[in-house]
Amino acid sequence: MPAPVPGGLSPDCIPDIVYYSSSSENTVRFIHRLGLPAKRIPISPKDENPVIDRPFVLICPTYADGEGRGAVPKQVIRLLNDPANRALIKGVIGTGNSNFGTLFASSGDVIARKCNVPLLYKFELAGFDDDIARVRSGLEKMGRKLGLAETGNAPCSTMG
């Protein structure tokens, strides 16, 4: 069993995290601050997607034009077009820039609708400390809901 990560969560107790980040690396910064293992969808469509073999939450930035077209990056669409990957997605977190108003983090809305999974959360750019805490807590709750907390021998939380 993997060792707990900072904050006491064991990676076995939460869904995997799969994310896309462009060269701006806002999402990478969020993932690093989250402090949990994560699998990155490559920027280059020539590179292979990560192997996904557990339930996962997708974190996806938004790249829509002014009309909302192109909100979901093509690399994410390619990952989700694989039926095995689609079967394992359990929720999505959208990211974006609130300057885009109603289109803020709309990739999350699109993916939730097309994959029939819950939109779990939205955060701006690289996120804030409150976003980190809320996402960590939400992943822990989802792990319990999915029964991941019951599969290991070690406690899945340091919380009471």
Residue with tokens 């006491």: 8
pLDDT per position as a tens digit, 88-127: 999 999 998 887 777 788 899 999 999 999 999 998 888 8
Work out the pLDDT band at 3, boundaries 50, 70, 90. very low
Predicted TM-score of the model (pTM): 0.85
Dig out the tokens for 23 from the structure.
């060269």
Determine the Cα–Cα distance for residues 74 and 71; give it in Å rounded to an integer: 9
Bridge pairing between strands 89-96 and 56-61:
parallel
Q: What is the pLDDT of residue 155?
A: 54
Contact 136, 7 (CB under 8 A): yes
Q: What is the pLDDT of residue 160?
A: 37
| 9-20 average pLDDT score | 85
- The Cβ of residue 146 has, within 10 Å, a number of other Cβ atoms equal to 16
Higher pLDDT, 159 or 122: 122
pLDDT per position as a tens digit, 74-92: 999 999 999 999 999 999 9
Work out the pLDDT band at 130, boundaries 50, 70, 90. very high
pLDDT beyond 70 at 150: no
List, in order of start, the domains of the chain with CATH numbers.
Answer: 11-149 (3.40.50.360)
